[in-house]
Chains A and B, each alone.
Chain A
Amino acid sequence: MTNLTPSEILLALVLILPLVSAGVSFIIPERYSWATSLTAPLLLLVTAILSFVLFFTSEDLQVSAVWFSIGATEIPFSLLLDAASRLMIVVVSTVSFLVHLYSMGYMGYDQKITRYFGMLGLFTFSMLGIVLANQLILTFVFWELMGFSSYMLIGHWMEKPAAARAAQKAFLFNRIGDAFMLIGILITWIQQTSGNDPFWQTTGVICIFLGVVGKSAQLPLSFWLPDAMEGPTPVSALLHAATMVAAGVFLLIRINPLLTEPALTVIAITGIATALFGAVCALNQFDIKKILAYSTVSQLGLMITAIGLGAKDAALLHLFTHAFFKAGLFLAAGSIIHALSHQPNNTLDVQDIRNLGGLRKKLPVTFMVFCVTGASLAGVPLLSGFLSKDSILTAAWNLSHPTTQFLFTALILIVSFLTVLYTFRMIRFVFLGNESQATLHESPWVMRIPMILCAVASSWLLVSLNPLHISGWFIHSFPGAEASAIASIISAVTVLIALIAAVLLYSKQTSPKTIVMLQNGFGVDSFYQRTIGSAVLYFASAAEATDKKVLDGFLHFIVYAHVSIAHGIAWFDQYIIDGVVDTSARLVKWAGSFTRSFQGGKIQLYIFWAVAGLIIFLFFVLI
């Protein structure tokens, strides 16, 4: 490792610095815990700057070494910096830095600030690892580490039972996917080295996709994500924007060449189903963070759909734009929560949009940020979301088969229609309407700056010079992402119609409405608990009973049988064998004493017996 090029050193630094930040937070003693809220954001700032430097200067880069080998199989430690990962490290480190900065304000008074920043560092490290890893086993390593750090972050307020439950649920749902993902990775590995069996190739890829389903909260493993809102809001921003859920989409982009035809079909169907499901659920939530969570589920579904349709660049583009506008939305939501929960005598649930309203005057910056990022989410022209959604729509529009073309285009349009509705609903009930709160203060600067930056990054300029069409700009990472003019027009018209519909629908309502079943995600979550959850517990107690009753019971039976037989033998010994011996001994003794009685030592007796014997003798002889 002597001849490292500057780019390689930069790459190593970008990967390692967040881990250093985690280590520093772990080492700093509790008394100086305030220090972490300086060191961690600083280190992340350096990481972000370095990743920008890499982005603008570095060529494609590959670093490889043997991690370990099993027999003849070598497991490499291999990092790859290409167009996609160059872009992603910028997004990840930037959003992570913004979240760190924001956390200085939001989490300022938290008791466990060192653990918080430590886990945030580990989390960022794992995400960067996933982005850079050029080998699936290595990806899995970072993938799992991210699962762990997200567990700790979601469960940060672990004294709250709901937070503890949410963390556990997140990890378990992820783990279900990950267990199969590991199998899938290994199958793919084996297929690449020794086999060439289409069945196993597809099985492998679908197993990997199951891991993606878990991490990117696709159906049927979506339900951890809304619960994960129990974590601190900056964490939600990080989890939902550039990292964690994005990891799955990014992994699919990475393994794109491996995806077989049947696997793509599975992916596309899962994606579009999730997109619709998320949008419908988002429309029926009261909790502002849960609306955003389901919106994330829906948007991820769109990205997955794009991958299933073979448009990985469109997926990457949407991942990129989504990272910033969704981070902005969450940070703005956090700003609302922060402002309201620092108010004295507040007993209401400050995340419930039924308790909010008219905040536009009190929190003007938050309002502006929320509007801009929300509009970008809704796909309003001139904003980045419009461009990226267009490219996904184009991918569907360009499908060759007419039925699938119509189906996917229509479904994507329905999703974007619903997106406009729920975004408007949120803005309407949080910021517009009657003022219900007393004096409020806008969040401190450390929180406002990241929000504003996210809003700025939601403009079209981030991805394209032309506000209505992807025409390329300083980013050359999306060669395949294109948007046809027809798709753009259809998309813009849909957004317009949806906006009118939303205004008509929600401006009259005084309070938001919902359908209860949809509020609970179609009731699937509780269905899981009632079926799978109880089944596992049932099997667990059945296994316990088998152990205690059957296996140990059998053992005890054998032991008791042995002991009983032993007792039987002892009885036999005592009464039969000993009995026989004793009886014969007694018999002999009796005979002895009987015959002894003849020998009393008296002459008369001898004569008597002699005569008696003679008589008996004569008796026998004569008769």
Chain B
Amino acid sequence: MTFRWTFAASLLGSVALISVPAGAATPPDVLVVAQSIDDAVSFDPAEGYELTPFQTFNNVYQRLIESSEADPTKIVGALAESWDVAADGKSITFKLKPGAAFVSGNPVRPEDVVYSFVRAVKLGKTPVFILQELGWKPDNIEALVTKVDDSHVKVGWAADVGSNFALAILTAPISSVVDGKEVAAHASNGDFGNAWLKTVSAGSGQFKLTRFVPHEALILEANPKSPAGAPKLKSVILKNVADAAARRLLVEQGDADIARELGADQIASLAGKPGITVKETPSAQQDYIIFNSASKSVPALSNPAFWEAARYLVDYDGLANKLLKGQYTIHQTFLPVGFPGAIDDKPFALDPAKAKAILAKAGLTDIKFKLTVSNQPPFTDIAQALQSSFALGGVAIEVEPVVNSELYGKLRSRSYDASALYWFPDYFDANTNASAFAFGTGDDGPHTVAWRAGWNTPDISAKTHSAIVEQDPAKRAVLYANIQKAVEASSPFVFMLQAKEQIVLSNKVKNYVQGITPDQIYYGQVEKK
């Protein structure tokens, strides 16, 4: 008896010892965001190309010009007070805002703008291909971006593109202006301060990145002297919580103010919960199928009749409204809704009989191909759904799940039959997607997505080139609408879905703004009441 009681008492004692009442509610001036930050590698704007750094850049850096927070289709001055396009349309001169300073206290000078672009081009990291659209190379960048005087900087370009397009490129995160003096002081072995800038920030945004611990947390602290104005919060903490169910629990308990990337089931279970709001914003992510028309093993993949039939073998409604409930909408053109020039055309629906008729007319029978997809959700689910719907039209799919780097390796070397994958635009201009999907000029041209599909399309490529040179925004929009219709009608791509993001917010969080692209996340005006 004594032994039993001693044992029970010890057990209870042990539990009491380790169970300390947990605290709840985050501090009033600190915003806690629960999300996965496992993707983050570098917060240097010349290098960072993953979702988490993109979500951070707008808060810690400024560009000369930026997409408006209120209306992203409009460009507004950030570090630039005004700008003038040269008569020849090959350069723009920016006047810097007087009195603007970096978080270090150093003034923002034309030299900083020049240094930022030169280092980005010379470092040649992942996102440099965006600046390369302007024809910028390590050997010409210093001649193209120059200081005019103490308040003016001239930005020119070597590529045959219009000033509207150049302005759009200058709103991309890689165009962020860094504190040249501060960064240069931390440079070693000619790395332009890249090693140092991976985990801190040296910009003029409303926050500064003070601490980044990979796979753990990211801490932003207020920069009250930012030219963009003082933020309302003292700090923002992005806490790495890899499991969606755990993120949901944190926001429910008040230990997080925002939770991102919850699954459809998690969102559904939060319906009607007091103190919590689910905010829906469209995302520019699109999911599409690509067929390799250069595939020697499946000749049918290069046949336009097969491309047409494939458009009727996708169960768009089932994917968007059942399988991926609430997380996607049907979208069938290469520009996402919300982008300048996008058209929301939905001419296709699942129609196996029609697809069969198209294939029969073209004499295509016994088609079988391998669909290589990322082994991450939701792509394995999408692949299985496609396997079922294509089977209705007599087309057999063998699903091949692989890791992402293997998938992209296969795409780059064109050693695949077909894939279902996602696409994110790189900057806020229609050309970001048009130059990928509607520009294929063979092996001598750039290795775009169209090239990966083995699609040589001189006519559409010429139209894409005309659109990039066009200076009039209204005319550009018409040109892009026509290109989208052409790609939608016949191309080795089947655009299926556009994602929408569901963000779970505590009701205490006010003024949270999020745009269509991953970089359009703004914490500056957020407050907790």
Mutual binders A and B: no
Chain A interfacial positions (CB closer than 8 Å to B): none
Chain B interfacial positions (CB closer than 8 Å to A): none
